[in-house]
Structure 1
Amino acid sequence: MNFTKLLFSSKSQAHYGVFSRSYYTNRVNKATLYSRISPLGGPDKSVEAELEDWLKHGKNIRVAELQRIIHDLRKRKRFTQALQVSEWMNKKGLCAFSPTEHAVQLDLIGKVRGFDSAESYFNKLKDQDKTDKTYGALLNCYVRQRQTDKSLSHLQKMKELGFGLTALTYNDIMCLYTNTGQHEKVPDVLREMKENNVSPDNFSYRICINSFGVMSNLEGMEGVLAEMENQPHINMDWNTYAVVANFYIKAGLTGKAIDALKKSEQKLDNKDGTGYNHLISLYSSLGDKAEVLRLWGLEKTACKRYLNKDFSTMLQSLVKLDELEEAEKVLEEWESSGNCYDLRIPNIVIVGYIRKGLHEKAEAMLENLMEKDKITTPNSWGSVAASYLDKGQVKKAFECMKAALSLFVEGKGWKPNLRVVAGILDWLGDEGSVSDTEEFVESLRRTIPVDRKMYHALLKAHIKHGERVDKVLDRMKADKINEDEETKTILAMKSS
């Protein structure tokens, strides 16, 4: 569980023009501009052609609709497309951009092209558009890319211009110090905030609580939590208590962790799957199977539809607890849920099997998935191969590594484990057929550079079965691999 993500999960959604309401399409299946843009999918797909085509066919475009589309694309992290819509709207002159529209575009530029481009856009703005909104958006760009000097000098400029600093501004600076590992500076920002009569919000307190926790200053953490609980304008939330519980767990303070988790659950919205996931993960860290299963039952009752990420959290928790039989039950629930297939879900259980030395079960699950025409990964098969090799079952390791190599795709990040490859090559040279050794080496050549060990396996296999080795030696020479003492020893076997 990513507790940094938990820390930032409820950061104000009103950040420079992001509002909390979702944008829904027309329920009567009437074609809308959004219904044309939404299916475009990946961030690399341009939306400008769709916008131009919409205009070309004489259809009206309302500014409010474009703004809602931008908001929705941002919410879905399709920042490139959101920026395309914003820039197109500006280029077409469909409305005079206010500081708010400029702030949104500036924020998107920062996300897509980096702070240098955002800075350039800001510098070209008219003076009347350089308001607290656009200054704040640029500050956020600097913070996001951890530009400490630029962030602090920009903040100073905002102070000199007399902009009323808000909780959002101070939160940005606290985020900057958090993201750059300067946790000791965060409480000073909270103190300055209060001295300037700016009321900290939930996020202000939570990030300060996190900083004390990271510094293992639990007394400081508890002091900020107590202050937060006593603020009349603060509505305590589940994730603040979850952050506190996480630090208690790390410190081995089980009793205090459980108290914080109970408070967290009391603040949880019944339909908040994310909250249930965090609590399940935390209870698994405490080794509490009963609470993990209880919360899973509550989540399934409260959240009528549960997502792959919910199953993922639950499976990870059960595997951490070594409760593989329970994990198998949850995996069956996932398989019958109708959710889209995600190879990462069964892989959680496969990894659990491997860690427990149950490589036969891991292999059986992979074979079952393949029989159902489901995707498996070379990494999964490679892990099972390593497990078999460690148990001395080299032939099984060979079969699993062959499956892994058959799934290899260039550029996808997987490479075979060289220790496992070496073990299999040794075995093939001594026990394998010429055809098996040739096929295996040919598969390896597509994934890793050819080396002497591959040729030694080929030479030994050929000699053992009475085959000529001159062509193997020619290929070895062509690959610029020189004979060494081991090569000469192998070749000497031919005449003995």
Structure 2
Amino acid sequence: MNSMKLLSSSKSLAQNGVFSRFYYTNRFNKATLYSRISPLGSPDKSVEAELDDWLKHGNNIRVAELQRIIHDLRKRKRFTQALQVSEWMNKKGLCAFSPTEHAVQLDLIGKVRGFLSAESYFNKLKDQDKTEKTYGALLNCYVRQRQIDKSLSHLQKMKELGFASSTLTYNDIMCLYTNIGQHEKVPDVLREMKENNVSPDNFSYRICINSLGVRSDLEGIEEILTEMEDQPHIKMDWNTYAVVASFYIKAGLTEKAIDALKKSEQKLDNKDGTGYNHLISLYTSLGNKAEVLRLWGLEKEACKRYINKDFIIMLQSLVKLDEFEEAEKILKEWESSGNYYDFRIPNIIIVGYVKKGLHEKAETMLENLKEKGKTTIPNSWGIVAASYLDKGQAKKAFKCMKAALSLFTENKGWKPNLRVVTSILDWLGDEGSVQEVEEFVESLKRTVPVDRKMYHTLLKANVRHGERVDKVLDLMKADKINEDEETKSILAMKSS
């Protein structure tokens, strides 16, 4: 569910980022079924053929192994392939599906084919398989696709059958109201949950805290937080205090925010990089450089190995705080860390330089990366070009835009800024050589449709250098761009 992205705990985040590999090969380093399926990374690639081939070659397939494969593919968000394995297992009759297996398959059908298909699958189940698990799985499908009426009527049916006694069921409904923006209804669900003797968990309370925070009900947040702290079955975690701190920050209550952040840090597992990153971001919002650097030091000491995401969070924080000298130090740490190259990391500083008007430093960084054979992207060169243009340095803007165009790749989403291109064409028409204009227009035509401005620039350059323009006019006519008054004015320059 969308709201879960905002409210998920560090544990779930970590689980999504660290994938189980223990059954990739066995202790004799022989290939396993998983080692055949795992490399099929594209969701378009069917795993059914691999499963059939595995059986064809006389290999055994254990149900437990297939279940582990489904579990791992789900964690890695390869839902289509997980569904294929589940459906293949069912079709082959390798085991009698229990309500648990049906619930997993129903959930996958909902994710891959939508709630109508999940509903159809549920309706075809035998009565003994329509348990709290399968009812709950269908409710989750409705909630995920924001089907309000279906979710609430299905919940009512679950209540009538005595299947609405789990924390997960109420959490789903709270997430539904969060997803559709009806935050005022979330506390009522929590209240009903407790009245029905269903114990809220950390996630239940956190959804409620989030809904109260969105409505700026800080008093309500404090009441929920106190209730959580008084519950013997609740183990307070760093994420809850961090969520509370974020709402204090938005309200401008710095002292309360810092108090919540200190409590969050006390609950932090000292090897939880995600938690450190989150706290670093929140202290950045407070403008507290000292705490940002202190937590980075603790993270490096505790986690030993820090990944690119850690560097991204830290650099974003330092750039936001205008601490470019510290950011440059962190960048050097990354360069010597042995982590794989990721342009997003130096690009944080490059974009920061541009926003501060330090376009020369931004260009130098791009040039250095280029000289080292490292990948850069056209958008970064393009924003540096725009920055130069804003300072009236058209020649340097032209140079950067040339670099941007040289990196253009179809279907990558980047298009040159029209304002920047138009200004560069104006400058080229007045100052550029014929060769410069021809090369620039040629590369520009690969990114945007040819237009009158390009041809007028070509005409101006040729006229200024005393060259014939017949070929340019022929090409212009072939592209169905008729001469206008400006065209005639440019051609008149030749005879004057």
Hey, what does 2:266 align to over in structure 1? 266
Partner of 1:239: 239
What CA distance in whole angstroms lies between the structure 1 residues aligned with 2:39 and 2:12? Answer: 28
CA distance 1:12–1:302, shift in 2 (3 Å) = closer
Residue 107 (structure 1) aligns with: 107
Contact 2:315 2:330 in 1 (8 A): yes
Which of 19, 22, 25 aligns to 1:24? It is 22
Corresponding residue for residue 429 of structure 1: 429
User: 1:170 maps to which residue?
Assistant: 170
CA contact (8 A) 1:11 1:203 kept: no
Deviation (angstroms), 1:5: 2.9
User: Are the structure 2 counterparts of residues 239 and 131 from structure 1 closer, same or farther at C-alpha, using a change threshold of 3 Å?
Assistant: same
The letter of the residue matching 1:408 is F
Q: Aligned runs of 1:368-383 on 2, under 5 Å?
A: 368-383=368-383
> What are the equivalent positions in structure 2 for 1:97-496 lying under 5 Å apart?
97-496=97-496
- Aligned residue identity for 2:347: N
CA distance in 1, matches of 2:293, 2:390: 34
Structure 1, residues 157-186: CA drift from partner, whole Å, max 9, x if none?
212222143110110111111111111111
SS at match of 1:449: coil
Quote the Cα distance in structure 1 between the aligned partners of 2:89 and 2:460: 70
User: Residue 320 and residue 404 in structure 1: after superposition, are their counterparts in 2 closer, same or farther (change >3 A)?
Assistant: same
5+ unaligned residues in a row in structure 1: which ranges?
A: none
| Structure 2 letter corresponding to 1:330 | I
In structure 1, what is the Cα distance between the partners aligned to 2:8 and 2:335?
Answer: 32
CA RMSD of aligned residues (A): 1.9
Using the TM superposition, name which of 23-32 and 370-379 deviates more.
23-32
- TM normalised by structure 1 equals 0.95
- Could you tell me how far 1:30 is from its partner in structure 2? 2.8
Deviations 1:99-158 (A, max 9, x none): 100111111111122222222222222222111111111111111111212211211221
- Distance, in Å, in 2 between the alignment partners of 1:139 and 1:475 is 62
Output the CA distance in 1 between the equivalents of 2:297 and 2:3: 23
Show the counterpart of 2:79.
Answer: 79
Q: Within 1, Cα distance between the matches of 2:251 and 2:4?
A: 17
CA distance in 2: counterparts of 1:112 and 1:492, whole angstroms: 64
> Could you list the runs of 5+ residues in structure 2 that have no partner in the other structure?
none
Distance 2:79 2:478 in 1: 50
CA contact (8 A) 1:115 1:141 kept: yes
Q: Distance in 1 between matches of 2:437 and 2:66?
A: 61
In the superposition, relative to structure 1, how do residues 266 and 6 fare at CA in structure 2: closer, same or farther (>3 Å)?
farther
Farther-moved stretch of structure 1 (156-165 vs 388-397): 156-165
In the TM superposition, what is the alpha-carbon distance from 1:22 to its structure 2 partner?
A: 4.4
Deviation sequence 1:12-71 (CA, Å, 0-9, x none): 89xxxx9x9946223442322112222222322222222122111111110001101111
Deviates more, 1:386-395 or 1:150-159: 150-159
Alpha-carbon deviations, 1:444-471, whole Å to 9, x = none? 1111122221111111111111112222
Tell me which stretches of 4 or more aligned residues in structure 1 moved more than 4 Å. Answer: 10-13, 20-23
Contact 2:3 2:175 in 1 (8 A): no
| Residue 74 to residue 147, structure 1, CA distance change in 2 (3 Å) | same
Q: What residue identity is the alignment partner of 2:86?
A: S
Q: Secondary structure at the match of 1:450?
A: coil
C-alpha distance in 1, partners of 2:84/2:4? 30
SS of the aligned residue for 1:191 comes to: helix
Structure 1 window deviating more from structure 2 (83-92 vs 204-213): it is 83-92
Kindly indicate whether the alpha-carbon contact (under 8 Å) linking 2:316 and 2:348 is maintained by their aligned counterparts in 1. yes
Q: What does residue 57 of structure 1 align with? A: 57
Contact 1:327 1:349 in 2 (8 A): yes
| Cα distance change, pair 11–261 in 1 and its aligned pair in 2 (3 A) | same
Change (3 A) 1:235 1:154: same
- Corresponding position of 2:91: 91
Q: Answer whether contact 2:10 2:274 (CA < 8 A) is retained.
A: no
Amino acid at match of 1:488: K
CA offset at residue 484 of structure 1? 2.7
The structural deviation recorded for 1:83 is 1.2
Shift of 1:190: 0.8
Percent of residue pairs bearing the same amino acid type: 86
| SS state at 2:411 partner | coil
The one-letter code of the counterpart of 1:24 is F
Partners of 1:131 and 1:453 in 2: CA distance: 68
2:49 and 2:91 map into 1 onto residues whose CA distance is 14
| CA apart distance, 1:6 | 4.3
- How many Å separate the matches in 2 of 1:93 and 1:173? 35
SS at match of 1:40: coil
Please state how far the C-alpha of 1:205 moved relative to its aligned partner: 0.5
How far apart are 1:3 and its partner, in Å?
9.5
Amino acid at match of 2:31: A
Alignment partners' CA distance in 1, 2:3 and 2:385: 33
Q: Give the Å deviation of 1:336.
A: 1.3
1:4, distance to aligned residue in structure 2 (A): 6.7
| Paired residue total | 490
